[in-house]
Amino acid sequence: MLTIKNLSARIGDKQILNNINIELDRGKCLLVTGQNGAGKSTLLHAIMGRPDIITTGDIHLDNLELHNIECHERSQAGVFMAHQSPPTIDGVNTMTLFKEIHKVQNIVGTTGELIKLTKSLFNCIGLPEGWEKRPFNNGASGGERKKNELAQVALLKNKTKLLLLDEPDSGLEQSSRQKIIDLIQETKNQNGCVLLVTHDKELQELYKDNQLDLSNA
C-alpha cells in the first residue's frame, strides 16, 4: 500500500503542493488530475525523490519510509517513474543500460536471455530494428523515447511495486494506448499500484472511478 500523509512540496521558493493525503491499495490505479500547474508531475517526482524538490510529510510504501531514503534507493525498492520527457544519456549504449538495470534489480536470467527479451520488447512496442545498439535515446523522437521507457516498465514489471506514469501517452500514436493499458493492468496483476497522470480522455475515462484532483487539493 502507498500511504502519503500531509505531503507538501516546493522547488526553491515556490510552494507547489500542500498537505496531500493518499491511500492507495496494491492492485489499484489512481488517476491524478488537475489544471496545468496544479502539481501533478511534482507529486510524482516528490514520491520518486527528485533532489531539488523539498518535501515535508510522510511517504510510505508498505512499511518502508520512502521520504527517508534517496532516489536510487526508492528505485531499488520497487518504485519506477516513467517521465513526461524521458532523458537522453549521451555515450551510453541502450543495451548496456538495460544490462545495468538487470544487474541492479537482481532480475533472474543470463545476459543472452536479457538481450533476447529486450529485442522482443522493442519489436513489440514498435521501436526500430537495432534499437538496442543505439546510444540511449540519442536522436530519438518524443514517441520513441516514450516507447523506450515503456519497454523499461515491461522489463521491470515483476519488480515494480509502485509505478508512476507521467503522461505516458504524450507523443505516442493512438495505437500505442493499449500498450499503456496493458502495462498498467500487468502491474496491478503483480500486486503493484499505479499513479497515472494523463490528458488522454480515453485513459481518464478508464480510471475515473479512483482519482485525485489536485485543483481541489
Question: Where residue 31 sits, what CATH number does that domain have?
Answer: 3.40.50.300
Q: Supply the mean pLDDT for the chain.
A: 90
Q: Which residues contact 174 (CB under 8 A, 6 or more apart)?
A: none
Rg of the chain in Å (alpha carbons): 17
Which percentage of the chain shows pLDDT scores above 70?
Answer: 100
Look at 59 and 174; give whichever has higher pLDDT: 59
**Section 182-208 average pLDDT:** 93
pLDDT class for 153, splitting at 50, 70, 90?
confident
Tell me the three cell numbers of residue 6: 500531509
Q: Say what the pLDDT of residue 28 is.
A: 96
φ, ψ of residue 31 to 5 degrees: the values are -85, 125
Q: Say what the pLDDT of residue 18 is.
A: 94
Q: How many domains in the chain? A: 1
d(CA 64, CA 80): 15
Q: In what order do the strands lie in the sheet containing 64-65?
A: 14-24, 2-11, 54-61, 64-65
**Rounded-to-10 torsion of CA 58, 51, 105, 176:** 90
Domain encompassing residue 164: 2-216
Dihedral sign computed on CA atoms, order 86, 95, 183, 108: negative
Which percentage of the chain shows pLDDT scores above 90?
Answer: 53
User: β-strands 2-11, 14-24: how paired?
Assistant: antiparallel
> Model confidence over 43-89: pLDDT tens digits?
999 999 999 999 999 999 999 999 999 999 999 899 999 988 888 88
> Which residue do the cell numbers 502491474 mark?
187
Looking at the predicted structure, is the pLDDT value of residue 157 above 90?
no
